[in-house]
Amino acid sequence: MSIIYQPSGKALEYSPLACNLVIGCSHGCKYCYCPSIMHTSQNDWRQKVYLRKNIFDQLQKEAERMRGDKREILLSFMTDCYQSEQVAEYTRTALKIFEANKLNVQVLTKNGKLASRDFPTLKRNNWKFGSTIIFRSEKLRAEWEPGAPPIEERIAAVKEAHGMGIYTWVSMEPVVDPYESLSIIDELKDYVTFWKVGKINHYPIVEKRIDWKKFLENVELALDGKAFYIKKDLEKYRG
Ligand code: SF4
């Protein structure tokens, strides 16, 4: 199986190519779909994080074969590429391979603090920095993303990247509380180059209590004049 792969389905709305260096993710998000895809438990997914076998040898070969390919490679859909110091080191190694082979990368993380050490690399290569931020409330963050870094750190990292002239994007998905998501737009709209906004799926209790049409209207109002993409799941609520 290739390390750099073409995602399928909804993930293609985010990136034409992607790469996962490790299996597992210590952030332990309540809404994470990865354990079910990988046929494992939430606990094992969170606690048994390991580097994929022979990953860097294989990545080196694939990157050389793709040398100069302009399609974006997202790190990562199935894990957080800056979830810990150790995983951040793996990511740094991969970024060096991508850079040496003139490939095009975007990172997506909830750990902006660790990612910020690679901002000079992102800046030098014109790569993108993305962060998933769906709440303003730290209480909700602790409930839904118990192992992930605080919201303040993510906000600070987006502002820092923007200040360095790096293309920044925010993934606003899943949406658990529309008010919380709109608060993030309000706080960060002058620091984010591009927004990707979706809804929540596979969580009927939350999904049913939200007026998605109203949320879509409010998002478009809040992002008037800004660059954004409404994911297909939310787009279908347009009147
Ligand atoms: S950061 Fe992503 S991969 Fe990690 S637990 Fe949360 S949803 Fe899953």
User: Closest ligand 1 atom, CA of 110?
Assistant: 1
- Mean pLDDT (whole number) for 214-233: 97
pLDDT at residue 10 in the model:
78
Q: Which of 21, 22, 34, 41 to mutate to test the pocket of ligand 1 (most atoms within 8 A of CB)?
A: 34
Instruction: Work out whether strand 17-19 and strand 4-5 pair parallel, antiparallel, or are unpaired.
Output: antiparallel
Query: How many whole angstroms from 75 Cα to the centroid of ligand 1?
Result: 12
pLDDT tens for each residue of 121-139: 999 999 999 999 999 999 9
Spatial CA neighbour of 13 closest among 89, 96, 72, 84: 72
Spatial CA neighbour of 192 closest among 226, 219, 221: 226
The CATH classification number of 4-234 equals: 3.20.20.70
Count of residues making up the chain: 239
17 φ, ψ (degrees, to nearest 5): -135, 160
How far is residue 9 from each of residues 12, 121, 232, measured CA to CA in Å?
A: 6, 30, 11
76 CB within 6 A, ligand 1: no
Computed over every residue of the chain, the mean pLDDT equals: 96
pLDDT tens for each residue of 37-90: 999 999 999 999 999 999 999 999 999 999 999 999 999 999 999 999 999 999
